[in-house]
């Protein structure tokens, strides 16, 4: 690598960084690991591994926007620092098919024409997403299986099977010239999984016996003691609730939760219920899973939406999307009585068989209230064992640490509280405190000659997807949207004769979310007078400067409304010349 390339791709020098960073290790090339998302937050996971002129990217996730991100459809990690070095990125490796690990893939592949590796189900889910981006073509997909090993430049990657809430999830054992690194991705340890595929204890133990330079491990549930409940426990709870139900049963879950869907279908068959699958992503995921033999449904059990209202209630089950209260999802529309074919009746049972993503609690509570008002019995994770997390609790995380026995430990996938708590757990499991490295998004961890340290930082952020626009909405614009939502908007129209400065029309004031003009006529008339008075002192030269006029109108009205109502709406002046 040329010196100028190394300087451009490496983060800021150590002397400009906080104390937790150390000077760069002397030897180059070295192994460098840089998280671009997923540390200090839940979701948007993305990690870059680099050795000299070669780099691989592990996962490329998105983040569902919380209600404060008005109008935003998806949040992506900012990988701008990779753009000048696209020729060094050799592959994208996906651990599994959840949105927080593959959601950004179509956008990433716009810029990086690289091979994509993943299990069959993961690759098929990615393909279904790529179909929504018709400009993307000729993607080089590589399907892998657990226990497979591949070579990508200096990286030798072995895939290890782990349990999670989605089928065909893998962890990575990455052999590098500097040593062996284990990247768990999301995982849990289930001794009685419904699909019969248990966690690969022996594979991880073998890796541990070889000697592991660093373990990067999922931290999501480190604050939950003990061990997560098995999917078999959830299946028993679902069976009991559905067995007691006398009306229709509506089950909402993540589209990718194929083992859970299989259990729900099995219970429906046991009690003679027909099944309707509702929601585009759920329909697509179940079709893929059925085609791969991961989901078995007797075709005679499936019904169209029209039959949901025609069959006796005790003979119907609907599996649907919307467990996070997403706007316009099937469950949201049903809860608000806005679905043309599916309506909640007295005695129906609604089961939220999914965890609540942080930030969506209020939205989901509102859905539960609407469903309850319409007579439904609602069951969810806080009250019944209708969901188990796909992320291991503290006992499972300790098991991973003890199997792998890493020299260094880097907690990933979690908010800072989770990362720090996971670091303390690692110390309890025997990792020396000085070898626990708490990284943030954008930090670079460097390994050379068996030594590791945080050595630099790359500026990272978030990229917002709004409709077809990607990255064209800035954080400042998000703040402006919030301000409009909180304080309202006043639009001012003004037409000025350029030659004389005479006001030909206006100021005309229109309010949205601030005051109702018909009720506050006197207030709005006084506001117009304030604008006219403020412009009387303007010379012809000043009037001819439209930006000066706009700023004067904006400042005058904000001061006026603040004095009159103690409010500061967003004021947008529209000034035209004749």
Identified catalytic residue from 164, 183, 391, 393: 391
Dist CA 339 CA 276 (whole Å):
14
Smallest CA-to-CA distance from 25 within 453, 456, 408 is with 453
What CA dihedral angle connects 272, 276, 282 and 286, to 10 degrees? 50
Q: Which whole-number Å values give the CA distances from 129 to 4, 22, 107, 132, 285, in the listed order?
A: 37, 41, 10, 6, 11
Hey, how many other C-beta atoms are within 10 angstroms of the C-beta on 154?
20
Sign of CA dihedral 300, 302, 307, 312: positive
Smallest CA-to-CA distance from 561 within 473, 489, 453, 457 is with 489
- Residues in a beta bridge with 217: 411
Smallest CA-to-CA distance from 42 within 258, 262, 359, 341 is with 359
Contacting residues for 470 by C-beta, under 8 A, at least 6 apart = 76, 107, 463
- DSSP β-ladder status, 451-457 and 406-412: unpaired
- DSSP β-ladder status, 489-496 and 570-577: parallel
The three-class DSSP label of residue 204 is helix
Concerning whether 156 is annotated as a catalytic residue, the answer is no
Contacting residues for 311 by C-beta, under 8 A, at least 6 apart = 274, 303
Dist CA 144 CA 124 (whole Å):
12
Q: Which whole-number Å values give the CA distances from 363 to 66, 312, 368, 495, in the listed order?
A: 10, 31, 9, 44
Dist CA 221 CA 448 (whole Å):
31
Dist CA 45 CA 217 (whole Å):
12
Helix (H) or strand (E) holding 438: none
Q: Which whole-number Å values give the CA distances from 206 to 156, 209, 234, in the listed order?
A: 16, 5, 32
Structure tokens at 352: 């939220």
Identified catalytic residue from 100, 175, 190, 218: 218
Structure tokens at 511: 């309010």
Smallest CA-to-CA distance from 67 within 253, 387, 324 is with 324
Concerning whether 223 is annotated as a catalytic residue, the answer is no
**What is the side-by-side strand order in the sheet with 116-118?**
141-143, 116-118, 89-93, 54-58, 46-51, 31-37, 443-448, 451-457
Catalytic residues: 218, 391
């Amino acid at each position: 690598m040329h010196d100028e390339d190394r300087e451009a791709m490496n983060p800021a020098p150590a002397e400009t960084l906080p104390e937790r960073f150390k000077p760069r290790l002397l030897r180059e090339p070295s192994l460098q690991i840089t998280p671009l998302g997923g540390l200090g937050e839940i979701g948007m996971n993305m990690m870059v591994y680099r050795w000299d002129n070669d780099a691989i990217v592990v996962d490329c996730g998105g983040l569902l926007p919380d209600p404060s991100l008005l109008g935003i459809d998806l949040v992506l990690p900012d990988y701008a620092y990779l753009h000048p070095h696209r020729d060094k990125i050799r592959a994208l490796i996906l651990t599994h098919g959840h949105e927080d690990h593959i959601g950004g893939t179509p956008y990433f592949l716009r810029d990086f024409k690289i091979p994509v590796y993943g299990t069959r189900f993961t690759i098929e889910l990615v393909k279904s997403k790529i179909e929504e981006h018709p400009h993307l073509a000729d993607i080089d997909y590589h399907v892998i299986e657990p226990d497979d090993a591949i070579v990508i430049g200096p990286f030798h990657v072995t895939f290890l099977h782990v349990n999670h809430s989605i089928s065909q999830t893998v962890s990575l054992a990455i052999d590098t010239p500097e040593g062996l690194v284990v990247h768990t991705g999301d995982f849990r340890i289930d001794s009685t999984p419904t699909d019969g595929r248990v966690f690969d204890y022996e594979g991880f133990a073998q890796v541990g016996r070889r000697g592991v330079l660093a373990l990067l491990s999922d931290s999501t549930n480190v604050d939950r003691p003990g061990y997560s409940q098995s999917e078999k426990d959830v299946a028993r709870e679902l069976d009991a609730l559905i067995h007691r139900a006398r009306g229709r049963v509506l089950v909402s879950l993540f589209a990718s939760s194929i083992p859970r869907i299989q259990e729900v279908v099995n219970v429906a068959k046991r009690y003679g219920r027909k099944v309707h699958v509702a929601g585009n992503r759920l329909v697509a995921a179940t079709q893929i899973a059925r085609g791969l033999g991961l989901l078995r449904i007797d075709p005679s059990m499936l019904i169209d939406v029209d039959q949901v209202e025609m069959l006796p209630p005790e003979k119907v089950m609907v599996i649907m999307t919307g467990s996070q209260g997403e706007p316009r999802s099937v469950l949201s529309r049903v809860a608000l009585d806005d679905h043309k074919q599916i309506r909640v009746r007295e005695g129906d049972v609604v089961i939220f068989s999914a965890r609540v993503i942080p930030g969506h609690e209020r939205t989901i509570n509102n859905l539960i209230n609407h469903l309850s008002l319409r007579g439904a019995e609602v069951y969810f994770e806080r009250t019944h064992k209708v969901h188990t997390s796909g992320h291991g609790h503290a006992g499972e995380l300790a098991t991973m640490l003890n199997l792998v026995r890493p020299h260094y430990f880097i907690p990933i996938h979690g908010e800072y509280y989770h990362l720090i708590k996971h670091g303390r757990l690692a110390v309890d499991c025997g990792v020396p405190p000085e070898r626990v490295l708490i990284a943030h998004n954008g930090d670079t961890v460097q390994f050379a000659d068996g030594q590791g340290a945080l050595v630099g930082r790359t500026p990272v952020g978030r990229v917002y997807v709004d409709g077809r626009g990607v990255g064209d909405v800035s954080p400042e614009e998000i703040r402006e949207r919030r301000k409009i939502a909180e304080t309202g908007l006043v639009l001012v129209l003004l037409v000025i004769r350029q030659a004389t400065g005479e006001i030909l029309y206006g100021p005309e004031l229109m309010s949205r979310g601030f005051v109702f003009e018909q009720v506050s006529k006197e207030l709005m008339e006084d506001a117009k007078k304030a604008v006219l008075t403020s412009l009387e002192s303007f010379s012809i030269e000043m009037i001819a400067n439209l930006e000066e006029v706009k700023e004067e109108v904006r400042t005058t009205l904000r001061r006026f409304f603040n004095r009159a109502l103690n409010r500061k709406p967003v004021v947008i002046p529209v000034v035209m010349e004749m």
